[in-house]
Amino acid sequence: MIGAFVLRRLGSGALAIVGVSILAFAFLHVVPGDPVDHLAGDNASPQLRAKIEHCMGLDRSLPGQLGAFLGHVVDGTLGHQCKNGDANGPTVAARLAEVMPHTLALALAGMLVAIALALPLGVVAAVRRGTWIDTFATATSLAGVSVPIMVLAELGLLVFFVELGWLPGPTETGPAALILPALAVGTHLMAMLARMTRSSLSEVLGEDYVRTARAKGVGERRVVYVHALRNALLPVITVAGLQFGSLLSGAIIVEKVFARPGLGYTLVQAILERNYPVVQGAVLVIAVIYVVVNLLVDLAYGLVDPRIRHG
């Protein structure tokens, strides 16, 4: 049963990846502007322009270009960057592999910050529903959702880097340099997860089996954390999984503010340059990330809720 479920999900995910790749290829070719002009520059020689055009496959028909792109997907290179028209130069896969650790580290750190803040806040708000604690937690969540990530990032830089000098700023490296970007990303995500936790747990606490557990004399802490919270986590897992996919695809604003060369920042630069191979490769990697994350979320359902696993 589990194997069949995984195979079905992998099949649908593969179709989604192929569809996204074809759409990205199609949309790139309807965007105004000559990609060779952007990569070669206004004063480029005709020889350099011809080399870039050949490297990007623009001297072929559209079906030929699509076939070449799919061929590069199969061989794992995702094509060549074509900056200098070198068809044997650095590959797109190599560039994405170089920037991916930066985005992965930011996504993981941001998710840890979000979960560490959201679960206690959401649980306390649900248990103390209707009190000033609930009001404070709800207001904190609304503030986290309402304040743009750019403002959070720049405010963090102003306070902790410029004024206090406690944390590293842009262009700096090391574990400490990840704290401010992770806080900016995680605080925004925390607000959504905290509200989802509160809403879901409040609903579960009103279920019959929870009242039965209390009537049997089960301690309130065990009722909340063992009987109720586990079932309340299903929608939270969904939101966290989808948002983690978004974080991996690139917290573009945070990467820009903190000068982190991540996947999202690389994709934006490639779009501005009209660098078709890099854009197509980045979009494909993002699609794969979303499919894998969604598959892991589905599998996590079965671990959290035995009813889904047995069903």
**Domain-located, residue 294:** no
| pLDDT tens digits, 115-141 | 888 888 888 887 777 788 878 877 877
Cα distances from 148 to residues 138, 178, 184, 258, in angstroms, run 17, 19, 9, 15
Nearest to 251 by CA among 154, 149, 160, 176: 149
Whether residue 3 is predicted with pLDDT greater than 70 in this model: the reply is no
Mean pLDDT value across the chain: 77
Using alpha carbons, select from 127, 139, 162 the residue that is nearest to residue 257.
162
The better pLDDT of the pair 213, 236 is held by 236
Q: So what's the pLDDT on residue 248?
A: 67
Please give the pLDDT value at position 7: 75
Where does a domain end: 62, 77, 92? 92
- pLDDT score for 2: 55
Asked whether residue 309 carries a pLDDT value surpassing 60, the answer given is: no
Range of the domain at 8: 2-92
pLDDT (mean) for 230-239 = 77
Q: Do 225 and 120 share a structural domain?
A: yes
How far apart CA 8 and CA 77 sit, in angstroms, is: 27
Domain count, the chain: 2
* pLDDT tens digits along 237-275: 777 777 776 676 557 778 878 878 888 788 888 887 778
pLDDT band at 5 (very low <50, low <70, confident <90, very high): low
User: Region 70-90: what's the mean pLDDT?
Assistant: 76
Identity of residue 184: A
pLDDT of res. 155: 82
Domain presence at residue 168? yes
Taking the alpha carbons at both ends of the chain, their separation in whole angstroms is 9
Residue 74 counted as domain residue: yes
Final residue belonging to a domain, choices 92, 124, 154: 92
Domain CATH number, residue 232: 1.10.3720.10
In a domain, 311, yes or no: no
User: Of 68, 92, 116, which one is at a domain's C-terminal end?
Assistant: 92
Domain check: are 54 and 172 in the same one? no
Instruction: Specify the pTM.
Output: 0.74
The tokens 């969904």 sit on which residue?
Answer: 238
Domain assignment of residue 289, yes or no = no
Span 198-210, average pLDDT: 76
**Confidence band for 91, pLDDT divided at 50, 70 and 90:** confident
DSSP-derived secondary structure for 170-220: TT--SGGGGHHHHHHHHHHHHHHHHHHHHHHHHHHTTSHHHHHHHHTT--H
The radius of gyration computed from the CA coordinates of the chain, to the nearest angstrom, equals 24
286 lies in a domain? no
- Indicate whether 308 belongs to any domain: no
